Structure 1
Amino acid sequence: MYALVSLILIISLSMLIVRVGTVALTMTGLSEEVASFQSLSAYSGAGFTTEEAEVTTAYPARRMVVKTLIRLGSVGLVTSIATLILSFTDPTTRLRRLVILLAAALVLAALSRSRTFNELLTPLIRRTLDRTATFELRDYVGLLNLDREYCVADFEVDADSWLANERLADLELRSTEGIDVLGIRREDGTYLGAPSGEHEVTPGDTVIAYGQRERLEELADRPASDTDAHQDAKAAHRRLLALERRLDPERQPVRPD
């Protein structure tokens, strides 16, 4: 029975620590999905060497969180707790301690899944991260509505793509379709951040863009011969702008590309 209780407490405490790490990494701009995976990877010491892991450790604030998770996973904290539980041999207090441990395990499990706990925890984590962060901490998932209909996507431009061999200014993606091109990665590895309207999209380029998920998926597969798709996208964007203006009459018109 004691072994079972120790296992429950170990799992619950691990879940709580990983959840705290996830909240901290999310606040540095990572999506919750990536933050959760990297938090679990660091805590467990699994050592997944992925591109996401390189991004996670690219900033001081994120490195601090990852180092803390690695230390907590390696110092034997969980093992020490398990040993303490298994050392309860006094029969006069065994039942009382068993009840306390079960209650603690249930509380830890509940906290690891509680949104209210996350909301209370976030300000504390923010104050800690502010001491080491070299950039303003934001929840970019919420800021960019990435958990809704908007997303950031990257896709390769084929020779027969509607985007190929066109200047961004001529494509008018931002003003007519509501799509922002955040960057262009050339085939030779050159990266153009926040490209201007004078930059041309060439076959082999990888375009990084922000917009509505459905619109980005359509744009990525749009062939050069499909001129109607652009007109349909423009019409859909006009309807969206009309709806937003009804909701916000003070909304300013979109600047040209």
Structure 2
Amino acid sequence: MTTPVALTIAGSDSSGGAGIQADLKTFAALGVYGASAIAALTAQNTRGVTGIHAVPADFVTAQIDAVFSDLDVGAVKIGMVAQAASIDAIAAALSRWKPQHIVLDPVMVATSGDRLLASEAVDALRTRLMPLASVITPNLPEAAALLGEPIAASEAAIEAQGRRLLALGCRAVLIKGGHGEGTESTDYLVTSAHSLALPAPRIATKNTHGTGCSLSSAIAAELAKGAELEPAVRTAKAWISAAIASADRFSVGHGHGPVHHFHKFY
């Protein structure tokens, strides 16, 4: 019996709702063994981010090498990285180890509105990590920022931005519609073959801390289990929608609380 393994390379969230902590909870909830390489530490809670400490790039490399030299990693999720030197180190390490699946969540801003990626690191993310990615998972503001364009306001504009992001080297793009308007939150999966709209009811809750981290991790978990990309995305979206719908079962913090990663179990 082979145990599916996924590796998250991301930042740590001291309040446990996003980042490495959310990723590991997601992997566990979906039946995947989770490993981690911490690229940054944050002093963070449901109200905001009060400090960021980047892990030295050579130690990020050491963590990645330690995992790959021992564990059979089926998929990698990359989240918050914070600085260009770490992005370069991650790109170099993954180019050496060549994992089959890489899910890149280009985390730039926290749910609270605090910036998590240095401005000068955006270009490194665009040129060094995106070409390695099986799929990238930007939200609407992140997709616009990666392209240096205004936020897309229509389905046609979203799909067009997805095509332009594909041209930067990734194999697929999932543009998340959580920042949009209306009764539905529609994500758009764009590949070289087609564009696919994935609607879901918009859920009225303030407890959305870690949503993007958890969705990208859920996709990585499904890929690690052997799913193809489209089924992996569909399963991950259904799971995160249920986690958001169950978020109000928790009373955690005084700001944007976490989603309920283990909604299937309690």
Task: State whether TM-score is above 0.5.
Answer: no
**TM-score (norm. length: structure 1):** 0.25
Whose strand fraction is larger, Structure 1's or Structure 2's? 2
Could you say which structure has the larger radius of gyration? Answer: 1
Whose helix fraction is larger, Structure 1's or Structure 2's? 1
